[in-house]
Amino acid sequence: MPPRIALIHATPLAIEPINAAFARHWPQAERMNLLDDSLSADRARDGKLTDEMTLRFVDLALYAVSAGCTGILFTCSAFGPAIEAAANASGVPTLKPNEAMFEQALALATQGRALKLGLVATFLASIGSMSEELQVMAQEQGVAIDLRTVFVSEAMDDLAQGRAEDHHRKIAQASRQLADCDAVMLAQFSMTAAQPAVRKELKCPVLSSPDCAVLALKQTMSADA
């Protein structure tokens, strides 16, 4: 029997990119998509991650396990501590959305200087959560990093309203501020389609979460099997 993987989303914009990545890298996996788009709205409204939101993440993870899922991938990047709580409660392999992308970025480190990384986001609340998560990972690995972040306002609204080309163009233009970085990361799963446009603007690697996440979860679950 193929594994059943729960894909848990806080915005519908993440659903297509991660399912496309599964189709490319792990088509045998059975996917179950769970969406609570009020989570993103509540996170933006409250300006912080609350205990109530964390409990909702735990509930979603437990529901996924009760439905037969043996692995969970969260696609929402502004909820790191809530995902950790969900992982502890679920008892199955659970991956944060950007964990694998961060590992790939940190692998570019060389001795003698700080690794210069850029992070581009279209959801403002993601920047603080992701920056903290990346800094912790870097410290654990003994990697010195110089992190620069860019927020692209209105781009997420463009994508939600069907103006994909405007979304991609705004992200690509904003990424020019990070031209001297060793690598640039796209924060949201929903930004994946903008990756080719960003690559045209930059000489450094441009990393996106979905492909990295699928491959990492596949490897983790294969090792545990």
What average pLDDT values come out for the chain (225 residues) when binned by 10 residues?
A: 94 94 96 96 92 97 98 92 95 93 94 93 91 94 96 95 97 97 95 96 95 93 76
Residues of the chain with CATH 3.40.50.1860: 4-97+211-224, 99-208
Which among 5, 122, 21 has a CA at the least distance from the CA of 70? 5
Q: For residue 34, what are the CA distances in angstroms to 74, 167, 180, 202?
A: 10, 25, 38, 35
Contact criterion met (CB below 8 Å) for 138 and 106 = yes
Task: Tell me 172's DSSP state.
Answer: H
Helices (H) and strands (E) in the chain, counts: 10, 8
Contact criterion met (CB below 8 Å) for 115 and 144 = yes
Contact criterion met (CB below 8 Å) for 87 and 155 = no
CATH architecture of the domain formed by 99-208: 3-Layer(aba) Sandwich (3.40)
Pick the CATH number of 4-97+211-224 from 3.40.50.1860, 1.10.730.10, 3.90.930.60, 3.40.640.10: 3.40.50.1860
Q: What is the pLDDT of residue 1?
A: 84
Intra-chain end-to-end CA distance of the chain, in Å: 12
Instruction: Report the C-alpha gap between 82 and 49 in whole angstroms.
Output: 8
Contact criterion met (CB below 8 Å) for 185 and 116 = no
**Element housing 209 (H / E):** helix 209-224
Q: What is the pLDDT of residue 88?
A: 97
Q: What is the pLDDT of residue 78?
A: 84
Q: For residue 115, what are the CA distances in angstroms to 104, 109, 139, 159, 202?
A: 12, 6, 12, 31, 16
Q: pTM of the predicted model, to two decimals?
A: 0.86
Q: What is the pLDDT of residue 225?
A: 60
Q: What is the pLDDT of residue 111?
A: 79
Query: What is the amino acid identity at position 81?
Result: P
